[in-house]
Amino acid sequence: MQQVATGSRRAVGVPPAPWPGRPVLTHAPAPPRPNRRPAPHDGPRSRHAVLAALVGGVLFAVVYHGIGTRPWRQADIDVRRLVLAAGLSVDEVTVAGNVQTPAKAIFDALDLPNIETQLDLDTRAVRQRIERLPWIATATVTRVLPNGLAIEVQERTPAVVWQDAGREWLVDRSSRILGPNPAGDRATLPRISGLGAAEAAAPLLDALAATPAVAARLELAERVSGRRWTLQLSGGTRLLLPADGLARALALATEGPPGRRLVDRAATTVDLRSQTRIFIGAGG
C-alpha cells in the first residue's frame, strides 16, 4: 500500500490534511519539460544552471558528510535560499507498507512542518521516530531528489491475544503491545491472561510449537503469580505447569499414543509442577 503526502507545490493520490502554512494543491503534476542545453548567452537559464551546479555540490556534502544533521549557521552565501531556489525542498512524501498504522501517525512522526528543505532532513532521526510507533518493526527513509521523500515500513506480527481487565490486546513475540484487538478478531492466535503474561509469552509459544497436541486445544493460558502457567484446554483439561522446565512438562503431558496421553484426559486437572511426581485430579 502506498500513500502520498505533499507540501506546497503538488499532490499525488490522496494526501492527509495539509500542514499549517503549507497549502496543498490537488491537481496532478505537470509532465516534465524536455531537457534543454542553454545557449552561451541564455540569460536567466544560464544562471539557473550555475545555481543548480552549486547546490549539487552542497547536497553532495550533506548526503556524504552529514551536514544536514547539524544546525544551520549563517554564512556568506545564503545556502537555504540557494537550496530552495534549486527546488531541493521536501514537498512530496510517499509511504508504503503500512496496514495497521495510519498514514497520519507516520506523517506526524516525520514532523514535516519543521522540514523545509533537504538540508533540514535528518533521515536517522525520522526513522527512529517512526520505529517508535507500536506496529512498526523497521522503517526505511530515502531522499528522492529533488523534492521528495520515500518512507517504507515493515509492521510487526501479532503472536498472542492478551486478555486484561475485560479487554483484549495484540502482542508480538517481543512482548510489545501493538494495540487493542478489534471486535475479538485474531481467533487463531493463542490467548493469554494474568499479570506479566505478555512479557512471558515467548517461551510459552516456543513450548507450544513443540507440542502441537496442546497448542491445538489451548483455549487460555493463565499466568499465575507472575511465575508459571496454567493451561485451559478444550474438553475441560487443565495443565498446571512449573515455573521452570516448561518444555519438559508439556512433553510429559503429550507422551504416549493418542487417546492415552495425559493431555487427552477430559475434565481432568494434571499437575506437572513437581519434578518427581504427576498429580491427576478432577477438573475444575
Q: How far apart are CA 21 and CA 16, in angstroms?
A: 14
Residues 6+ apart with CB under 8 A from 206: 247
Do residues 262 and 241 make contact, with C-beta atoms less than 8 angstroms apart? no
| Confidence class for position 39, pLDDT limits 50, 70, 90 | very low
Query: Domain 160-282 class?
Result: alpha beta
Q: What is the mean pLDDT of the chain?
A: 79
pLDDT tens digit string along 109-134?
A: 998 888 878 888 899 999 999 999 99
> Angle at which helices 123-131 and 103-110 pack, to 10 degrees?
140
What SS3 class is residue 93? Answer: strand
| pLDDT the model gives residue 232 | 97
Range 18-25 average pLDDT: 38
Pick the closest to residue 91 from 113, 69, 123 (CA basis). Answer: 113
Domain 2-29+36-155 has CATH 3.10.20.310: yes
Phi and psi at residue 36, to the nearest 5°: -145, 125
Range 169-180 average pLDDT: 96
> Angle at which helices 246-253 and 201-210 pack, to 10 degrees?
30
| pLDDT the model gives residue 185 | 75
pLDDT tens digit string along 141-156?
A: 999 988 889 999 999 9
Residue 257 has pLDDT above 70, yes or no: yes
Do residues 12 and 4 make contact, with C-beta atoms less than 8 angstroms apart? yes
Greater model confidence, 79 or 213:
213
| pLDDT the model gives residue 116 | 79
Domain with CATH 3.40.50.11690 in the chain: 160-282
| pLDDT the model gives residue 35 | 41
Please report, rounded to a whole number, the percentage of residues in the chain having pLDDT higher than 90.
56
| pLDDT the model gives residue 115 | 83
pLDDT tens digit string along 64-111?
A: 444 444 444 444 346 667 777 677 788 889 999 999 999 999 999 998
